[in-house]
Copies of this chain bind each other. A is one copy, B any other.
Amino acid sequence: MPRTKGDHEARRRDVSEAVWRVLAAHGFGGLTLRAVAAELDATTGLLTHYFPAKRDLLAHALDLLEQRTSARPRPAGGDGLSAVRTALLGILPLTAEATASNRIWVSSWDTALADPAVSANHARMYAQSRDRLRDLVATAQRLGELPAGDPARIAEGAQSFVLGLVVQALLNPTAFPPDRQAGLLDDYLAALASAPPSPR
């Protein structure tokens, strides 16, 4: 029974939603045409209509990951160090939604390492995220809330810390509940704030 309403855009959103659910449940390794189709109560014919080949669906999934990550509720917490803290907290898997998103991210690393093009795209996205973080760090430095030093370098360190904490929290949620994650992040920021003006 074909669709009577040709609302192309709405249908595309449905497809994206199904892709997202499959990713959250089974990761990129479980992203199969029939899995997405089943989530839509449709067949693979529908998908090949929207995505000529599997790689197109995979590209769409990666786009989706980038989109939904950057579109996640970003509280934009105020000024200086507080803004840095809020930005980093926004990455951690503190909510169910953030956990799903991070689970997809971790899964994407495997496919990224297998495909140089995806890897390069990931590098670009993380670099962009670092740049935003760097600006926040620079502001905090200007406010005297963080010691002097290359803000880009500090952003690299902070992003590494948060990424690693994401991995730990996903693999061992019992040992790293939300408040523990926040506590560890605050430890890190406190150490950063009290560090000597910079070695170089």
Contact = CB atoms under 8 A, between A and B. Distances in A.
Interface of A: 26-30, 103, 106-107, 109-114, 119, 122-123, 126-127, 153-154, 156-157, 159-168, 170-172, 174-176, 183-184, 186-188, 190-192, 194-196, 199
**How many of these chains are in the complex?**
2
Nearest to A171: B122
Contacts of A170: 109, 113
Contacts of A199: 186-187, 190
Given A122-B171, A187-B199, A190-B196, 14 more contacts: A122-B172, A126-B172, A127-B172, A127-B175, A156-B168, A156-B176, A157-B188, A160-B162, A161-B188, A163-B163, A163-B167, A190-B195, A190-B199, A191-B195
A110 B113 contact: no
Contacts of A156: 168, 176, 184
A161, A162, A167, A174 — which one has the most chain B CB atoms within 10 A of its CB?
A: A167
Contacts of A167: 109, 160, 163-164, 167
B194 A110 contact: no
Given A160-B184, A191-B192, A172 B123 contact: yes
